[in-house]
Structure 1
């Protein structure tokens, strides 16, 4: 059963759910895309005109899908593969639903715009096996050589509950509950008032600063902070994020990104591929049954090598094979660093302040290694203890996070042996997949000395290091202190009325443009911002009863801090 926004599982009692509604820009994207009036209209004389979309990840596919519905002809360019970081790798010879999720793999139900597309495509989702959730069955926390087995938070030693309590108390000092209540109620005035107070106070301060300086943690030992970093809250350890701006962490917890997460059965890449092949019910200009795949004759164009402005004001987009096509508008959804490292992008298309923002984007490293096993053996019971022989595992060892995916007793299982970030991910970077597996198995052997994981492995392992991929250069953005101004410039760029003519017509989208990097909802929301901007660029507009993000941006847009 698919559980999306508004479902029983997404509720907290009888109260409305917490969603990714703001806090920086409290606009109801989920309502906008499902309104009976539609997103808007393009003047009929411009129907069929082409728009270049650089990147066929979820942001590019959502934008292309909605632009097609409006009557434009999106032309997708992709240097790697459809789906971007929604990449589901299939194990050779295994059933189709047995996958390794190399990029995004767990999606909070607060991602309401994203789940609109999941539900549109009729995809099934299930609870993600996060630590200390029913979906994981059991959890092992291994830290400083001590191993703790638990099937609920109450089964852990008091130290862990003290850490969780301190974190909750620390959040209360910044109005966590009040902000969540405003999000639930979609009380725009209250939410902006509360959030805009926090922005100047915390833009320049790190996650670790917040933890270490909080009254709640200052009463505890350094070891409590250490455990918080190693084991964390919600889905696991967060010490990799300690250098990040605290505003980024506030957004994650205040919008419940780290709670009630689900995975897409059979792989999340079904969402971008589904949009590629889906024929919308209502189409302007195009005949019934039109899909993105049909408009592209089955495949995207090659990756983009150059973007320039022609003398007539159009954009000249050149692909990797040297073919140049011209467009009245371009949407760039690839990671921003590629505009200076892989794509020869005319510098005049953005202001120097925007180039600074694009270039200062900081990406976090991430590594995952998966194996397929003959069965979900971890559910076997130890005859002496009666416990699961292996559990979802959080540790300070090399593996950091180990996740177990059960597809049924008569089906192969999948183990994400190691999911790590930043310096922990860099430790894996030089090594081929077989060595990564050996390193992970060696670390897990110290936690489970009596379990022979290797004997259950079948097929070839699968691994990824996103920072080593020339088309990504990192897994996702991690904003540093002082980066708020850069983010605001990138996010607000889709409203172009005040821009010089030479900077109009090129748009940005993607999770690194959003306020919620690493979460698919940010990619979806920024793509919808760009759809509004492109619609406006073509002389179109929204319906009076369904204003779009740009229509209310002057009133609701993110706070602008002085330079």
Structure 2
């Protein structure tokens, strides 16, 4: 973590861990998953009933896997490849060298996500974020001035003042320490008391407005706010998030979502691929050895082009090339915008208020460019200074953030030349991979004039701009001020008992339906919500010993601002 986010916690090792126990709905999904009673059951006469799952990302696959374990038959539709935004690519010159174009680092507080990572047997290791313990060195370069640091203490005192201002802002104005204590202890009443007071007060406040209005940042001055935007907290600069709701940021920092990250060895796409191939030891109806892959004869159904209500009341799904099928229930885990752009979705399936919420979603743009190098040369020492010749880099130049990744000294290394968001990501959109790489190397040459980075490059760069992918149109949702009501409608849709009959049987899932869009934990949680909704829709129920999210939504759920 950067120096900007160090919150002292005496005796932290003895405390319960921070989890992504979201303050809007502090339901312990990890406990729900671990309970021996299981997630619930459906009547035996429903065994083998087909349920459509639109989207083969982690949310859709978690939902499909848990439905299969209940004895239902999920039918997964996927327009491109299994994985969604957990997408990994290999370099043509070295197939075993992979990069993650979407999700690449997963906070340890994501307990429900790690349930599935562990279940499919994946290995993880600490991700080299700025100034993290596994990052040999970090360079912060602002306004042409370069600062080399191996620990936060190596940075100039100015950055400590910025850190102090941020710490004071979230403590004075958002009760940070009390909230984190309540999250550690899973003290739901305290979590809800704090959060329910903050939501109406801060729903219309931007991230920038929050820090600018804080006494600490007023005292620190504009230079501190500017540096905070460039360097940020956790993973780097956050000024591209400044227009978003401060509630989005508080959800991240309360739950340590931007701290203590790990990466999946071999690429993040291994998780959805593992879920696709996983053979549960215990499940209803299906014989041992059954997996989602075997239920689909090795390949998911194709791209969905139309969703409507069939004459018999079921949900009808039409694929791009004309094949149709009807289902007692359906889950849509794709980006919610697709329901009105790429997919012809019958309007009556959702209320006008729900369509408003779907259409008003605000998505973040995101761009990454990776290049493979012959070896992790950045670990070489400069004979003049004794410092690493290159470091994990945060800068106000076009690159913004540059990460250095390797699997040892005897293997090729990978440089994430640039990781950018929103306006910064849009600057790269019209350029191809080679043009992007050339500009990025030019910027890095200003920071490391004595390092010939290009001489180490092997093969062709790999790049992505998620906003240009027609199946995503953005990286993830980030609510703007005033969007709390929309998010509340989307998230609670899975458990609405008062919906008219023509709006039942279809369930929303995916990280953009969650309160923590952009985090795989949110995708898992909404997938489990949808499982609960489908189970109830088909006449099933949870064990009394292990109530599900629907049973506790009334008690734990988000407050209404209306």
Give the alignment's TM-score, normalised by structure 1.
0.97
Offset at residue 554 of structure 1 (A): 1.1
Distance in 1 (CA, whole Å) between partners of 2:315 and 2:408 is 52
Match of 1:557 in 2: 557
Distance in 1 (CA, whole Å) between partners of 2:263 and 2:127 is 5
Match of 1:443 in 2: 443
Offset at residue 547 of structure 1 (A): 0.5
Q: Deviations over 1:413-452 (max 9, x none)?
A: 0000000001110000001100010010011010001111
2:118 counterpart of 1:119: yes
Match of 2:199 in 1: 199
Q: Deviations over 1:488-543 (max 9, x none)?
A: 00000000311011101000001100000111100000000000000001100100
Match of 2:128 in 1: 129
Q: Deviations over 1:225-269 (max 9, x none)?
A: 000000011110000000000000000000000111110111111
SS in 1 for 2:33: helix
2:181 counterpart of 1:181: yes
SS in 2 for 1:512: helix
Match of 2:88 in 1: 88
SS in 2 for 1:17: coil
Q: Deviations over 1:323-369 (max 9, x none)?
A: 01000111000111101110000000000000000000010100000
Match of 1:370 in 2: 370
Aligned CA-pair RMSD: 0.8
2:317 counterpart of 1:317: yes
Q: Deviations over 1:285-307 (max 9, x none)?
A: 00011000000000011110000
Distance in 2 (CA, whole Å) between partners of 1:507 and 1:529 is 9
Match of 1:517 in 2: 517
Superposed counterparts of 1:128-277, under 5 Å: 128-173=127-172, 174-277=174-277
Match of 2:382 in 1: 382
Match of 2:8 in 1: none
Q: Deviations over 1:393-420 (max 9, x none)?
A: 0000000000000210000000000000
Q: Deviations over 1:198-227 (max 9, x none)?
A: 000110000000100100000012111000
Superposed counterparts of 1:51-66, under 5 Å: 51-66=51-66
Distance in 2 (CA, whole Å) between partners of 1:12 and 1:524 is 27
Match of 1:101 in 2: 100
Superposed counterparts of 1:276-295, under 5 Å: 276-295=276-295
Distance in 2 (CA, whole Å) between partners of 1:46 and 1:121 is 27
Match of 2:488 in 1: 488
SS in 2 for 1:305: strand
Offset at residue 93 of structure 1 (A): 3.8
Distance in 2 (CA, whole Å) between partners of 1:116 and 1:431 is 39
SS in 2 for 1:68: helix
Distance in 2 (CA, whole Å) between partners of 1:221 and 1:214 is 11
Match of 1:6 in 2: none
Distance in 2 (CA, whole Å) between partners of 1:187 and 1:222 is 37
Distance in 1 (CA, whole Å) between partners of 2:22 and 2:467 is 29
Distance in 1 (CA, whole Å) between partners of 2:369 and 2:148 is 23
Offset at residue 20 of structure 1 (A): 0.6
Match of 1:348 in 2: 348
Match of 2:79 in 1: 79
Offset at residue 94 of structure 1 (A): 1.9
SS in 1 for 2:472: coil
Match of 1:503 in 2: 503
Distance in 1 (CA, whole Å) between partners of 2:498 and 2:455 is 63
SS in 2 for 1:25: coil
SS in 1 for 2:371: strand
Match of 1:43 in 2: 43
Offset at residue 95 of structure 1 (A): 5.2
Match of 1:4 in 2: none
Q: Deviations over 1:3-27 (max 9, x none)?
A: xxxxxxxx93100011011211010
2:425 counterpart of 1:422: no
Distance in 1 (CA, whole Å) between partners of 2:132 and 2:309 is 52
Superposed counterparts of 1:455-494, under 5 Å: 455-494=455-494
Distance in 1 (CA, whole Å) between partners of 2:233 and 2:556 is 31
SS in 2 for 1:178: helix
Match of 1:23 in 2: 23
Distance in 1 (CA, whole Å) between partners of 2:406 and 2:345 is 46
Offset at residue 74 of structure 1 (A): 0.5
Distance in 2 (CA, whole Å) between partners of 1:264 and 1:349 is 38
SS in 2 for 1:384: coil
Give the alignment's TM-score, normalised by structure 2.
0.97
Number of aligned positions between the proteins: 551
Distance in 2 (CA, whole Å) between partners of 1:26 and 1:463 is 37
Structure 2, unpaired ranges of 5+ = 1-10
Distance in 2 (CA, whole Å) between partners of 1:164 and 1:243 is 21
